[in-house]
Structure 1
Amino acid sequence: MDAELADVLDTCWRLLGRGAADRRSPMHTPVVASVDADGRPQARVMVLRAADRATARLRFHTDARSPKCAELDGAAVAVTLYHPGEAIQLRLAGAARVVTDGAEVDRIWAAATDFARRAYLVEAAPGTPLPGPGSGLPAGVDGRKPEAPELVPARANFALVMLDIGEIDWLHLAQDGHRRALFTLGDGGWAAGWCVP
């Protein structure tokens, strides 16, 4: 890979890393797209929790009861991110898996704040109809920070979505001419080339 393409790939991972670490980053909340069992496209905004260049993996958190878990687990997934300040769009493609058990899930759960864990106390699966507006949280927990013992049942609803990236499509928008590059991960590492924007 030539030096300019290597710099672009570095930029991609820098932006992804910052997106995972900084909730004010525009790349903190990408759109994650999949296809449901009926073949219909499904897209949703998810919070990017980690971006690991060494493994080419992104991590998201979700409720294990959410219908998106069935759509994402073992499926081809697309992720779109845009950074307006840098005029860079990233489109990522890869394979997702949903993980609900194991040491890594337990470690990430233990590191979460009580407010973050509270989201997994909702009484029914995400998307379940309600009689009116509401959070789905138990009445005694809605609007307050729960105590640690109240959060014990929430752990069963917590899941990681791990996305192993196989392709990065980088697009830089510029008045003097857009630029686009495609990176594909293979056995020998990243292959790269320039594309018409």
Structure 2
Amino acid sequence: MTGVKEESFFNDLDLSLEEAWELLSEGATNRHSPLHTPAVGTVTSSGTPSQRIMVLRAVDRDNRRLRFNSDHRASKVADIDHGAAISVLGYHPGAKLQLRLSGIGSVQTTGPEADAAWQQASLYGQRCYLADPAPGSPVKAPTSGLDPGIEGQKPTPEQVAPARAHFAILLVEVQKIEWLYLAHGGHRRAIFYWNAAASRWDGRWLVP
């Protein structure tokens, strides 16, 4: 929770948008926040919708960006292919807010931002990218994809170093935010579009 009282944003578009960004920012830094693990949706090359739960790693409000980490061999990376539409859905029961975001996705495997994200990941987190074969590959028996010699233990930096080649960051440039507040006295719903020409968010109320 952000500490913003309900009555201060319940009927105010600007404050409702502020509350949305505050909750998203908290979701990136607080692993106990319900918005720490939103659903991320893409569209496959065959036109099929595809969703998965991902960990929200960072929020850059000034640039309207969300960051997630991914194995670059995963199917969602192929779905995005630098410039495809992407959606993010989260619900915070304590705040009684549902957030539906949509925008443009991109993937980076190299560069300062990807390098920094890799360094921020724990050794356990880095270990995930050692999976072989690639995520989503069919196998004959249940497996984590990890070598038995490294499974179930904390790896060393030397052991996880090869995993960097499989690591990527998934960036979402947010272009639209739909906000739904659930209240006994009457719900509220609003939508915000990024106005690039004016460099501002334009919002309006919707019927819940």
TM-score (norm 2): 0.91
Counterpart Cα distance in 2 of 1:30 and 1:94: 15
* Superposition deviation, residue 111 in structure 1: 2.0
Secondary structure of residue in 2 paired with 1:136: coil
Counterpart Cα distance in 2 of 1:180 and 1:166: 17
Q: Which residue of 2 aligns with 1:55?
A: 63
1:83 to 61, 69, 92: 92
* Superposition deviation, residue 48 in structure 1: 0.5
2:195 to 181, 186, 195: 186
Cα RMSD for the two superposed structures = 1.3
Secondary structure of residue in 1 paired with 2:12: helix
Task: Give deviations 1:131-160, integer Å, cap 9, x for gaps.
Answer: 222210111111111111111110000000
Counterpart Cα distance in 2 of 1:16 and 1:44: 18
Task: Provide structure 2 residue ranges, at least 5 long, that are not aligned to the other structure.
Answer: 1-8
Task: Give deviations 1:3-23, integer Å, cap 9, x for gaps.
Answer: 911110110001000111111
1:173 to 182, 196, 202: 182
Q: Which residue of 1 aligns with 2:134?
A: 125
Task: Provide structure 1 residue ranges, at least 5 long, that are not aligned to the other structure.
Answer: none
Q: Which residue of 2 aligns with 1:5?
A: 13
Task: Give deviations 1:107-141, integer Å, cap 9, x for gaps.
Answer: 11112211110011111111112222221011111
Q: Between the two proteins, what is the percent identity of the paired residues?
A: 46
Q: Which residue of 2 aligns with 1:45?
A: 53
Look up the equivalent residue of 1:131 and give its one-letter code. Answer: K
* Superposition deviation, residue 31 in structure 1: 0.6
1:98 to 90, 107, 118: 107
Q: Which residue of 2 aligns with 1:116?
A: 125
Counterpart Cα distance in 2 of 1:112 and 1:91: 27
Counterpart Cα distance in 2 of 1:141 and 1:44: 26
Look up the equivalent residue of 2:206 and give its one-letter code. Answer: C
Q: Which residue of 2 aligns with 1:16?
A: 24
Secondary structure of residue in 2 paired with 1:128: coil
Q: Which consecutive aligned stretches of 4+ in structure 1 deviate over 4 angstroms post-superposition?
A: none
Look up the equivalent residue of 2:50 and give its one-letter code. Answer: Q
Counterpart Cα distance in 1 of 2:62 and 2:28: 15
TM-score (norm 1): 0.96
Counterpart Cα distance in 1 of 2:25 and 2:92: 13
Task: Give deviations 1:47-85, integer Å, cap 9, x for gaps.
Answer: 100111101000000001101101123210111100011
